[in-house]
């Protein structure tokens, strides 16, 4: 029986399995459609604002519920045909059915909402989102491996909210040059008979297939994440892959024997070829290894870097500090335009790669320090107190993980007060939280430039620019 939405004096009890008719009015930060019934919120995957639908409740709480789209009664004008045939099952790219221009509009609204609601900043200066190539943009793909009921090796993405593997032979989001490897490598793994890892029994060897490509060079890496270094015939198979795919420059094994949902382990060994690809970014050459963090959307990362350079209007006499610098992706292009650049990074392997990339490009006015930013930055602020103002950075670039900056980082910035801060963020909520702390004290938010690094998903990157008051 379908419950009626209107005409009831008391909100009826709702229960799991119940069918409700509702309009979808909004999108949540996680990407689900948001409907309302009798003053209560229902989150509905695969629903678009403007849809009118029958929704079956699957998880019920007193004030909200999670539902499943049972029947689409009236389609939203923002709804489009997904590019991928399994988009309704695969949990990888959940916004394929939403018109791309509307995706951009929603992402800007989410940033504005977070900065106003969490950051307490009215009418924040948020620009329109920089649009991206909406398909085939990913330079890296990591696929869980499994086996079907008939014993066939599978690779794909998990169905949203589950660990049920949706088998794929191609993906419209990744660089199309990787698709042949995805389809054909599974067949080779099948023939080799290497057992795939079972998350329940913790038996088996192969956990993930990881592919990455240099968008500008076309060079590819293939990495198998395994619980065991001993894969009989791996050297022979690796050489066969190198021979079959001319753009494949290296095959590696990464060991991860832990009971964890983290993809990569701490040790990687090159089996054949070389352990890195070359990529050209912002006119510089970078070496990228199997587990190196590098933005998955090369072109959008460059576009955002250009905005940062234009906004900073560098004169060549600045001291720039790049916190969370990784392999120097932003540090090195900016170092070419300033007097001196310093990079801070907790991962020692990334620091070594950053130094190597600096040497490859002949950049000598840059140094890198290994350690947690929340430890290094306060020490630098104290050192500046004892020396001179010349050691205080003119510009600090922040690019923290999704959790945002540690309070010690914010306190150090408020203590040393660099003239300008550029805060690059992939999480509007933690960005807004940190902006509130900075702008309540010594800074003014002058501009926020969002960039769509992740089309077909709810995620958005942005750069916030702050000036000392």
Q: Which residues are catalytic?
A: 426
List, as one string, the DSSP characters of 210-262.
EEEE-TTT--EEEEEEES-S--TTHHHHHHHHHHH-TTEEEEEEEE--SSSS-
Write the DSSP symbol of residue 209.
E
Going by C-beta distance under 8 Å and a sequence separation of 6 or more, which residues neighbour residue 379? none
Q: For residues 205 and 226, is the Cβ–Cβ distance under 8 A?
A: yes
Q: For residues 242 and 248, is the Cβ–Cβ distance under 8 A?
A: yes
Long-range contacts of 158-166 (CB under 8 A, 24+ apart): 158/91, 159/89, 159/90, 159/91, 160/45, 160/90, 160/91, 160/94, 161/91, 162/91, 163/199, 166/86, 166/89, 166/90, 166/91
Of 469, 371, 366, 376, nearest to 417 by C-alpha is 469
What is the number of other CB atoms lying within 10 angstroms of the CB of residue 4?
11
């Amino acid at each position: 029986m379908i419950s009626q939405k209107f005409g009831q004096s008391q909100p009826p009890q709702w229960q799991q399995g119940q069918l409700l008719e509702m309009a979808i009015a909004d999108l949540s930060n996680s990407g689900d459609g948001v409907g309302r019934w009798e003053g209560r919120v229902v989150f509905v995957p695969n629903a678009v604002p403007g849809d009118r639908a029958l929704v079956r409740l699957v998880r019920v709480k007193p004030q909200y519920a999670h539902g499943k789209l049972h029947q689409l009664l009236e389609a939203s004008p923002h709804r489009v045909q997904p590019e991928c045939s399994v988009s309704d099952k695969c949990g990888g790219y959940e916004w394929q059915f939403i018109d791309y221009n509307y995706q951009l509009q929603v992402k800007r609204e989410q940033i504005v909402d977070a900065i106003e609601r969490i950051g307490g900043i009215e009418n924040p200066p948020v620009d329109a989102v920089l649009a991206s190539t909406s398909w085939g943009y990913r330079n890296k793909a990591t696929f869980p491996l499994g086996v079907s009921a008939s014993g066939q090796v599978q690779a794909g993405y998990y169905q949203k909210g589950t660990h049920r593997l949706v088998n794929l032979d191609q993906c419209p989001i990744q660089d199309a040059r990787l698709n042949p490897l995805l389809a054909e490598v599974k067949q080779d793994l099948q023939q080799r008979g290497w057992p795939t890892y079972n998350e329940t029994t913790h038996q088996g060897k192969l956990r993930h297939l990881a592919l990455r490509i240099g968008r500008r060079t076309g060079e590819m890496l293939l990495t198998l994440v395994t619980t065991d270094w001993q894969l009989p015939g791996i050297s022979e198979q690796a050489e066969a892959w190198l021979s079959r795919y001319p753009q494949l420059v290296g095959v590696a094994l990464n060991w991860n024997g832990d009971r964890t949902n983290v993809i990569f382990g701490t040790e990687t060994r090159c089996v054949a070829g070389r352990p890195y690809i070359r990529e050209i970014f912002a006119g510089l050459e970078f070496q990228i290894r199997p587990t190196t963090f590098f933005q998955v959307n090369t072109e959008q990362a460059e576009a955002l870097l250009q905005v940062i350079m234009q906004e900073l209007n560098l004169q060549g006499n600045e001291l720039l500090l790049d916190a969370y610098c990784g392999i120097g992706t932003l540090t090195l292009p900016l170092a070419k335009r300033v007097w001196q650049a310093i990079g801070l990074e907790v991962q020692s392997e990334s620091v070594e790669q950053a130094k190597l990339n600096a040497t490859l490009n002949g950049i000598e006015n840059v140094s890198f320090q290994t350690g947690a930013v929340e430890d290094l930055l306060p020490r630098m602020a104290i050192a500046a107190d004892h020396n001179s103002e010349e050691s205080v950075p003119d510009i600090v670039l922040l690019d923290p993980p999704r959790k945002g900056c540690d309070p010690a980082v914010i306190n150090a910035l408020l203590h040393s007060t660099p003239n300008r801060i550029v805060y690059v963020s992939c999480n509007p909520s933690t960005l807004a939280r940190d902006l509130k702390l900075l702008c309540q004290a010594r800074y003014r938010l002058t501009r926020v430039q969002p960039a769509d690094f992740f089309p077909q998903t709810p995620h958005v990157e942005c750069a916030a620019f702050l000036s000392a008051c």
